């Protein structure tokens, strides 16, 4: 908030559990009433815990689905009346886990795959008034991921990424800003992968790069 205000913008915060539909409605209504409408919605709630698929309990599966899918659905449904009336753009934050196999993250991958399909479906249902797109980051260096990996792990991962570095939050934010802006006025129903080329590394490793 402070950074937005220092840049000359207006901001406010509205805390609560995004998995609660009533909280989502209150947040959307508060923003819409305060700023005169809702032009952009970014669904960036998520979470998971590593587990072999056979060890995921029904409660664990439900928890991951609620965090990653239900939270987005709550905000999409809350924002729909305002956005369909005036137009706008939605950006859902998924993951490469929803596109490619992710061992020890079957629940998370399934949830993000659901979010990607939801993006594609709403892009058709909400056109032409609202554009709906998705971003799918790979490993991004955040406070949370810093706790999961050692410095040696990060160096090893960086070597596997064609662009030779782990992504940053700004790498994701820049693509989200593009999709939310008029520069992407003819883009909808798309999932933009933000991975430094990681999904191509199989071919990268086996094809000659120099002659």
Residue 34, CA distances (Å) to 20, 26, 197 in order: 21, 12, 41
- For CA atoms 126, 127, 129, 132, the dihedral sign is positive
pLDDT for residue 149? 79
Q: Pick from 71, 55, 77: which is nearest to 130 by CA?
A: 77
- pTM of full prediction above 0.75: yes
pLDDT for residue 109? 97
CA distance 211 to 209: 7
pLDDT in tens, 49-81: 999 999 999 999 999 999 999 999 999 999 999
pLDDT for residue 171? 98
How big is the chain by its Cα radius of gyration, in Å?
18
pLDDT in tens, 181-192: 999 999 999 999
CA distance 179 to 187: 8
Q: What is the DSSP letter of 183?
A: G
What is the CA 13 to chain-centroid distance, rounded?
Answer: 20
CA distance 38 to 144: 30
Q: Evaluate if residue 208 carries a pLDDT over 70.
A: no
CA distance 72 to 49: 19
Q: Evaluate if residue 154 carries a pLDDT over 90.
A: no
At residue 120 the predicted structure's pLDDT band, cuts being 50, 70 and 90, is: very high
Q: What is the DSSP string of 156-188?
A: HHHHHSTTSS-B-HHHHHHHHHHHHSGGGTT--
Tell me the catalytic residues.
108
CA distance 45 to 109: 15
Three-state secondary-structure class, residue 193: strand
pLDDT in tens, 6-56: 999 999 999 999 999 999 999 999 999 999 999 999 999 999 999 999 999
At residue 203 the predicted structure's pLDDT band, cuts being 50, 70 and 90, is: low
Mean pLDDT score, 168-176? 97
Q: What is the DSSP letter of 128?
A: T
Backbone phi, then psi, for 92, in 5-degree steps? -95, 140
The CATH number that domain 2-206 falls under is 3.40.50.720
Max CA pair span of the chain: 62
% helix, strand, coil for the chain, step of 5: 55, 10, 35
Mean pLDDT score, 153-180? 94
Q: How do the domains of the chain map onto residue ranges?
A: 2-206
pLDDT for residue 44? 97
């Amino acid at each position: 908030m402070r950074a937005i205000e220092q840049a000359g913008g207006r901001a406010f915060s509205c805390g609560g559990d995004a998995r609660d539909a009533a909280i989502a409605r209150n947040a959307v209504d508060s923003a819409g009433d305060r700023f005169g409408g809702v032009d952009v919605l970014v669904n960036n709630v998520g979470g998971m815990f590593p587990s072999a698929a056979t060890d995921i309990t029904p409660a664990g599966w439900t928890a991951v689905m609620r965090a990653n899918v239900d939270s987005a659905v709550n905000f999409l449904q809350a924002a729909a009346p305002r956005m369909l009336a005036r137009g706008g753009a939605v950006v859902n934050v998924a993951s490469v886990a929803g596109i490619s196999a992710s061992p020890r993250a079957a629940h998370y991958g399934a949830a993000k795959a659901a979010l990607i399909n939801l993006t594609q479906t709403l892009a058709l249902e909400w056109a032409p008034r609202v554009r709906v797109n998705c971003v799918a980051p790979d490993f991004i260096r955040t406070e949370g991921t810093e706790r999961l990996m050692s410095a040696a792990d990060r160096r090893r991962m960086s070597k596997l990424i064609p662009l030779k570095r782990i992504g940053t939050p700004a790498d994701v934010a820049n693509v989200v800003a593009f999709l939310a802006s008029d520069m992407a006025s003819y883009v909808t129903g798309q999932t933009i992968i933000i991975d430094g080329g990681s999904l191509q590394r199989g071919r990268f490793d086996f094809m000659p790069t120099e002659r």
